[in-house]
Homo-oligomer: A and B are copies of this chain.
Amino acid sequence: MRRSVFYVSDGTGITAETLGHTLLTQFDQMTFCQHSLPFVVDEKKVDEAVKQINAAAKADGTRPLVFSTLVDDALRARLCTCNGAVFDFFETYTAALETELGVAALDVPGRSHGMGNVRTYSDRIDALHFAIQNDDGATTRNYPHADVILMGVSRAGKTPTCMYLALTYGIRAANYPLADGDFERGSLPMALEPFRQKLFGLTVDPERLQQIRSERRPNSHYASYEQCALELRAVEKLFRRERIPFLNITQRSVEEISAQLMQLAGLERRI
């Protein structure tokens, strides 16, 4: 079974997509053909959206699902003339929230992913530059300024987690790759010793690591099951011996790893 889905927004479309994706994951017996229509800010744009939705309805023979976040009542009413099932997020909740809060909503579009203040913007960018500069053990001299230092073997998810922590939470995260030499030593790498309290480990099941590494270098020693299993056994032994908290990322997305890590490492968002 196949359905067309449209995300219609007066802003980036992020909220409409988040809402729709989340709901649709509960219907995975269906196939959804998804279209994003951001920045629908005037009547002309709404009419174009209606035209696209109606064309899909005709082609599919069923009416499309339309997830929308249109703040403006008139634009929303215009969208609702389409031949689709419209779920508008503001329409659903605004009245209930106005009652609960005892004040009227502003009805100003495009606020949810707007710029914010300069300070928050700069903190986010600085955290991102920090993550880039301190990626993959490039240098350890900035570790005094890190909020957290991730450790793990190659392709255990360190880099994407650092970038996501920076963009989403404004956290300054460095990462340090562990390789054969580090396991043989029987102690923490010297450069990390003064920063024990900031260390956090990432690990992964060997089958999964083999898959991930094979996407990068198929049929290599690096991607072999044996090598993956060997490195992972050694790294988990090191985490346990040195009492470094760690998280297994198998079956977890970057979003989940980051949210779990914030909790487990006791970090507070900075933005």
Interface residues of A (CB under 8 A from B): 1, 3, 11-15, 18-19, 21-23, 25-30, 38-39, 65, 69, 71, 85, 87, 89-90, 92-94, 96-97, 100-101, 103, 105-108, 110-116, 118-119, 121-122, 124-126, 128-129, 132, 135, 155, 157, 159-160, 163-164, 166-167, 208, 211-212, 215-216, 251-256, 258-260, 263
Given contacts A97-B23, A167-B167, contact A256 B12 (CB under 8 A): yes
Whether A101 pairs with B18 at a CB distance below 8 angstroms is no
Whether B27 pairs with A105 at a CB distance below 8 angstroms is yes
CB-CB under 8 A from A113, the residues of chain B are 253, 255-256
Smallest beta-carbon distance A267→chain B, Å: 12
Smallest beta-carbon distance A8→chain B, Å: 13
How many copies the complex holds: the figure is 2
Partner of A94, one of B23, B105, B164, B256: B23
CB-CB under 8 A from A260, the residues of chain B are 12, 38-39
Question: Nearest 5 pairs between A and B by C-beta?
Answer: A12-B259, A22-B112, A25-B111, A122-B215, A26-B105
Partner of A3, one of B26, B101, B111, B135: B101
CB-CB under 8 A from A259, the residues of chain B are 11-14, 38-39
CB-CB under 8 A from A125, the residues of chain B are 155, 157, 159-160, 212
Whether A159 pairs with B105 at a CB distance below 8 angstroms is no
Given contacts A38-B263, A215-B118, contact A103 B30 (CB under 8 A): yes
